[in-house]
Structure 1
Amino acid sequence: MVNLKAKPFYLNDQQICWVEQSIKSMSLEEKLGQLFVIMTYLPGVDESGIKNELDTWHQGGLRWQRKTADETYEQNRLYQKHSRIPLLIAANCDTGGAECVPDGTYVATAAQAAAGADPVTAYHIGLTSARESGSIGANWLFNPVCDIYLNWRNTIVNTRSFGENPDTVLDMARAYIRGVRDSGFSMACTAKHFPGDGTEERDQHLVMGCNDLNAEDWENSFGKVYRGLIEDGIESIMVGHICQPALSRKFLPGIRDEEILPATLSPELLIGMLRGELGFNGLIVTDATQMIGFNAVMPRQKALPAAIAAGCDMLLFTNDTAEDMAYLRAGVENGIITSERLDEALMRILGLKARLGLNEGYNYPAPEIREKYIGCAEHLLFRKEAADRCITLVKDTQELLPIDPVGKRIFLVYEHNIPNSRAYQGDKTKDLLKEELEAVGFAVDICPTFYDLEVENGVSFHNFLTMMDKGSREAFKSKYDLVLLVLNFTGYAQTNEVRITWSTDHSIDQPWYLAEVPTVAISLNLTNHLIDVPQAKTFINAYGSKQENIHAAVEKMIGKSTFTGKAEDNVFCDRWETRL
């Protein structure tokens, strides 16, 4: 059975008694409910709906859709009020509190933190995340991300990873956790996504991921990170829908290719490697079970009980909750989930709750705590400091910087994701860029985009013709002193790899101007855009589209501030010409 006195639980006899008695008091339906972290879709704050949900499903954990801080605070309070067994309320905070609630604070991405070298930014992300999520009732962070950015094509972990060096990833993950520990909130952390993302370019939201390192290389990279965090006492580990063939073959010699499964369904990876060789005693939770990496490998009816049987303790999200509960019930009835395995999972779930003090009832944070932390001046200062510390000059082989803005006219080319909704009315980041550039003395003309022309003029072939018209080269060179190409591409779960997408073909925004007028390229998110604009001889990674990031990038471009961020080798995308 589970040793709840050992790391990471450290429970006393009274807490262990609460865990054991709580399990004994549960019906089978209540036990199965504890295995789920359910995403609430209830609109607004509906106390009767919340009570009915808890009385029906008895879930062990909760995640929520984005609501205001006030709504989320009250919603989470009511969930705890009406839950017989206090809930693990989870938040996903890669960059700060902004991922919890719209009014929370974005501090920085993991890639940005790593560029700053000093772990202080990672510490500030963890501190802000815990304060802001804790103040609205969360007690479990699905962080830090411990993936290693080994493949430059991988845009899922490009900004979410602390980089390509395992030692840096471990140091930054530890700094994030220190921030959480120093927040004043009782908060569990989660290392993710075991056995590790970042070795290939595919997205487990869309396909079963594959960490294809050999066993020795895995041990020296991802193994080093997980061993370190387990030794430190990380409370939970999120398992990805990612296979690791070398480790599967290590524990199961002779396993056939068609038998290799993602870690969420692989006993050899969870019980053999994670529990056995790595010695992890804490809670194992799956990544989201809506992902194709989970659902495409076997029918959901089999996959859900198989995940618990393989060693997962909790399942993240439901599809049809009644149906998913029935699948688990059938798994118990047909022996896929043994009573011993079920009780083991429950021991860890309730053990984590006791570790957080939930056995004594939930001491919900006072409203003034929320008002103190959400979007506070100190957290906003962290964002400003991170921008100044981490923004990176990747290259300036034409020795263009710094640029004196006086008397200079810029042609501003702003590229972003293809709009996927008719609600699109333009991207305000472009206006923010123009304001920041004009504030330091540049004159700015904005290059049109096909999307914006369609919004302004309606659907018309003339919009395409306008985008095709580049005009005279000599006139362009006479008019503009500088082109500023700004790239702001984000996204996941729609395509396996995000690349630059120009607004239409053969258009004025495409980089024909690189050889005509001095050009500075700036990325506001992904760090690997040199693969698509290798001829850009001055390239800056600004890591974010917040005003602080844009302001700091402009200040550094004109020499009022020094570039101190450091680029890893992956930014050059394994190409010689990107370095020129």
Structure 2
Amino acid sequence: MLKRPVHRALALAAALSLTATLAPAAAASAAPKPPGKERAAEAYAHRTMKHMTLEQKVGQLFILFAYGPDADAADARNTALYGEATASDIVSEYEPGGFILFSARDNIVDPTQVATLSNGLQDAAMDSGAGIPMLVSTDQEQGLVTRIGSPATLFPGNMALGAGRSAKDARKAAAITGQELLAMGIHQNNAPVADVNVNPDNPVIGVRSFSSDPGLVAELTAASVRGYQKDAGIVATAKHFPGHGDTATDSHTGLPVITHTLEEWQRIDAPPFEAAIAAGVDSIMTAHIVVPALDDSGDPATLSHKIITGQLREALGFEGVIVTDGLEMAAVRQKYGDGEVAVRAIEAGVDQLLLPADPQEAYQAIDEALDSGRLTEDRIDEAVERILKMKYHQGVIKQPTVRVDKVMKTVGKHSSLRAAEKITDRTTTLVRNDDGTLPVAVDGRTVLVTGYGEVTGRTLAAELTARGAEVTTLPTGTAPSAALIDQASAAAAASDVTIVLTNGVTATSRQKDLVAALDAAETHLVVAGVRNPYDINQLPGVDNFIATYSYAAPALASLAKVITGEITPRGQLPVDIRTGDDSGDILYPFGHGLGW
């Protein structure tokens, strides 16, 4: 049994569930009969729920994680959090509806290992009391948030796709990503990001967003949903409702407040989620943000009935599964305890609880809320029915495990890598080329690659070496010392060409000093922003600037092609870039992009 108090009505729950009329089922009976697939999903959900205990239903609400790359390997960190040492034991004990994988928690080594881990988790789920397969998920947004790296096919991320302006490319990128995840036994991707990044200082979204334009974000969000669900057959999760694009606070560490009026929210933030719903998105993730125009209580959206039920369910008409963002994040933990947060999220209308900070406390709090009548079994049934239907539609019920020996026939195959290359080549954006210094020949010339990122620099250096350059790398990071700046300046003076990579340049950033010193050196200087295109507003003196939106390998390969003139830059800015002073005037408008 779980290491938590057993619900005192549990002994009656199974018997009652055989005769109780479920609220969702009753509502459905009054509506026209759904199409065949929907009827089959409903039949599966109702049939399964009749034989589930209330405790097992509660388990379906949770998406948990474990430390380690193997389902049966003991890890002291698991014991500290769950009271169980292995991932398999956690699944057996808690019977969660889902499990999420992270590279930072040692779950990911390579694609075949991921498939083996997923199979082990599913074996534990199938051997547990309810015997219901889990949805295994991850955050493979691509670009900045990529959990599974090479040899999986990599793409430069959403803002790069926004620069490419192609719904077809966005759908293809999602389809390839989804197909590879499914081959590894991952059934749900927490993507696409549907936030409209209207705040250049946003520390948590930024290039994870397609654009600052609601229409473009809506178009590419819908295309991505179709790529994941229709083409790849995995669950897409549009995030972060009601819209995380206008904040200067990171919800991992603080509680952001979005000051949009209701009209602004309807015009800016809502359209991508409406588009996702129209495209048939299976799941939507909530945001731990306060939006006073939608709910003036001060509670984050994840815990707000007005926002989750009032807006997402009733106003936008979403009938799928609503999942929280990680409940271990600071923004949602500031006002209430970890157990109370879980209860309030369910009360708000959420179906799935992702990453509770204290799983045992969260399970116990829901049990106690059921005991007291604060939560009802009907409310739990409503959520569980949605979850089971989503699992049925996705296909994990019929096929919970994958063939490990077949994984690499799908992951990183040549056609996918070639598609990623072509898509990425259409995203790189030439923002400034004032004196026509680009492109520049590098064959037979000495080239210095400096600035942000040791791995990033080496990756670009390899691309340039392959094009005949004699390359030296000197990584400086984002806060170089005066001595390191002097060293880079001297190295630049001794090189024919210098390429400086920037990442997150601000008014007080030492990167500005680095770029200025390199600009003064006797070298042919090329400046490339490998994350935020906004870097250029702090570098007014440079002659050229290229935006890649990403430091993923495909983006750096395309950067090398643009620098050397191998391809013509085709990307268009998906955001306005404003001046770095108080005026906030537009320096380079949405849609700007140069070619040769």
TM-score (norm 1): 0.83
Query: Taking structure 1 as reference, are residues 448 and 164 closer, same or farther at Cα in structure 2, changes over 3 Å only?
Result: closer
Partner of 1:53: 90
Q: CA deviation at 1:39?
A: 1.0
Query: Taking structure 1 as reference, are residues 138 and 527 closer, same or farther at Cα in structure 2, changes over 3 Å only?
Result: same
Contact 2:225 2:279 (8 Å CA) reproduced: no
Contact 2:351 2:384 (8 Å CA) reproduced: yes
Deviations 1:427-477 (A, max 9, x none): 233233334334445554544648999xxxxxxxxxx78436469x9x999
Q: Following superposition of structure 1 onto structure 2, how do residues 450-489 of structure 1 map, counting pairs within 5 Å?
A: 466-467=483-484, 469=486, 479-488=494-503
Pairing partner for 1:66 from 93, 97, 108: 108
Q: CA deviation at 1:230?
A: 1.5
SS of residue in 2 equivalent to 1:94 = strand
Pairing partner for 1:367 from 404, 410, 424: 404
Question: After the TM superposition, which of the residue ranges 60-69 and 38-47 deviates more from structure 2?
Answer: 38-47
Question: After the TM superposition, which of the residue ranges 430-439 and 532-541 deviates more from structure 2?
Answer: 430-439
Q: Following superposition of structure 1 onto structure 2, how do residues 156-555 of structure 1 map, counting pairs within 5 Å?
A: 156-183=204-231, 185-248=232-295, 255=296, 259-359=297-397, 361-362=398-399, 364-405=401-442, 409-416=446-453, 427-447=454-474, 449=476, 466-467=483-484, 469=486, 479-488=494-503, 502=510, 509=514, 511-515=516-520, 517=522, 518-555=524-561
Query: Taking structure 1 as reference, are residues 308 and 547 closer, same or farther at Cα in structure 2, changes over 3 Å only?
Result: closer
Which amino acid is 2:138 matched to? Answer: A
Partner of 1:132: 180
Q: CA deviation at 1:209?
A: 2.2
Q: CA deviation at 1:9?
A: 9.5
Contact 1:80 1:86 (8 Å CA) reproduced: yes
Contact 1:66 1:100 (8 Å CA) reproduced: yes
Q: CA deviation at 1:385?
A: 1.0
Q: CA deviation at 1:568?
A: 3.3
Alpha-carbon distance in structure 1 between the residues aligned to 2:517 and 2:193: 38
Q: CA deviation at 1:28?
A: 2.7
Aligned residues: 537
Contact 2:179 2:233 (8 Å CA) reproduced: no
Q: Is 2:64 the partner of 1:38?
A: yes
Deviations 1:112-134 (A, max 9, x none): 11111122331222112211110
Which amino acid is 2:435 matched to? Answer: Q
RMSD: 3.3
Query: Taking structure 1 as reference, are residues 171 and 452 closer, same or farther at Cα in structure 2, changes over 3 Å only?
Result: closer
SS of residue in 2 equivalent to 1:529 = helix
Deviations 1:162-193 (A, max 9, x none): 1011111111112212222454x532211110
Q: CA deviation at 1:244?
A: 1.6
Which amino acid is 1:384 matched to? Answer: E
Contact 2:61 2:352 (8 Å CA) reproduced: yes
Partner of 1:494: none
Alpha-carbon distance in structure 1 between the residues aligned to 2:121 and 2:358: 20
Q: CA deviation at 1:42?
A: 4.3
Alpha-carbon distance in structure 2 between the residues aligned to 1:362 and 1:477: 57
Partner of 2:195: 147
Partner of 1:252: none
Q: CA deviation at 1:573?
A: 5.2
Query: Taking structure 1 as reference, are residues 363 and 382 closer, same or farther at Cα in structure 2, changes over 3 Å only?
Result: same
Q: CA deviation at 1:381?
A: 1.0
Which amino acid is 2:133 matched to? Answer: P
Partner of 2:8: none
Question: After the TM superposition, which of the residue ranges 27-36 and 41-50 deviates more from structure 2?
Answer: 41-50
Gaps of 5+ in 2: 1-22, 75-85, 102-106, 126-130, 590-596
Which amino acid is 1:223 matched to? Answer: A
Which amino acid is 1:73 matched to? Answer: A
Partner of 1:568: 574
Deviations 1:384-440 (A, max 9, x none): 112311110011223322224467554432224xxxxxxxxxx23323333433444
SS of residue in 1 equivalent to 2:293 = helix
Query: Taking structure 1 as reference, are residues 237 and 556 closer, same or farther at Cα in structure 2, changes over 3 Å only?
Result: same
Alpha-carbon distance in structure 2 between the residues aligned to 1:397 and 1:117: 24
SS of residue in 2 equivalent to 1:511 = helix
Query: Taking structure 1 as reference, are residues 126 and 193 closer, same or farther at Cα in structure 2, changes over 3 Å only?
Result: same
Partner of 1:77: 119
Contact 1:150 1:199 (8 Å CA) reproduced: yes
Alpha-carbon distance in structure 1 between the residues aligned to 2:412 and 2:32: 37
Partner of 1:116: 164
Contact 1:67 1:101 (8 Å CA) reproduced: no
SS of residue in 1 equivalent to 2:402 = coil
Query: Taking structure 1 as reference, are residues 451 and 17 closer, same or farther at Cα in structure 2, changes over 3 Å only?
Result: closer
Q: CA deviation at 1:264?
A: 0.5
Contact 1:104 1:375 (8 Å CA) reproduced: yes
Q: CA deviation at 1:340?
A: 2.4
SS of residue in 2 equivalent to 1:564 = coil
Which amino acid is 2:247 matched to? Answer: E
Gaps of 5+ in 1: 249-254, 417-426, 454-463, 490-496
